[in-house]
Amino acid sequence: MKVVILKDAAAVAAYGADIFSKQLKQKPNSVLGLATGSTPVALYKALIARNQNGDVSFANAHSFNLDEYLGLADDHPQSYRHFMNVNLFDHVDIDKTNTHVPPGNAKDPRAACEQYERDITDAGGIDIQLLGIGRNGHIGFNEPSSSLASRTRIKTLTKETIADNSRFFSADEYQPQLSITMGIGTILESKKTVLLATGEAKAEAIKATVEGPLTAACPASALQLHPDAVIIIDEAAASQLSDTDFYKHIETENQKLGQLLGR
Distance between terminal CA atoms of the chain? Answer: 19
Catalytic residue among 51, 143, 226, 234: 143
Does residue 80 contact residue 40 with C-beta atoms inside 8 Å?
no
For the question of residue 67 being annotated catalytic, the response is: yes
Between β-strands 67-69 and 62-65, what pairing exists: parallel, antiparallel or unpaired? unpaired
CA 198: distance to chain centroid?
13
Kindly name the residue from 136, 142, 226, 234 that is annotated as catalytic: 136
CA–CA distances in Å: residue 207 to residues 94, 122, 128, 210: 36, 36, 23, 5
CA 79 to chain centre: 16
Type and span of the H or E element at 62: strand 62-65
Task: Specify whether the CB–CB gap between 31 and 125 falls below 8 A.
Answer: yes
Catalytic pick from 62, 100, 138, 226? 138
- What is the distance between the alpha carbons of residues 97 and 123, in angstroms, rounded to a whole number? 13
Is 136 considered catalytic here? yes
Query: Which one, of 78, 46, 53, 76, lies nearest residue 167 by Cα?
Result: 78
Quick count: other Cβ atoms within 10 Å of Cβ 88? 24
Name the active-site residue from 51, 62, 65, 67.
67
Kindly provide the b/e burial profile for residues 104-130, where b requires at least 16 CB atoms within 10 angstroms of the residue's own CB: bbbeebeebbebbbeebeebeebbbbb
**Cα separation, 219 vs 209, whole angstroms:** 8
Residues catalogued as catalytic: 67, 136, 138, 143
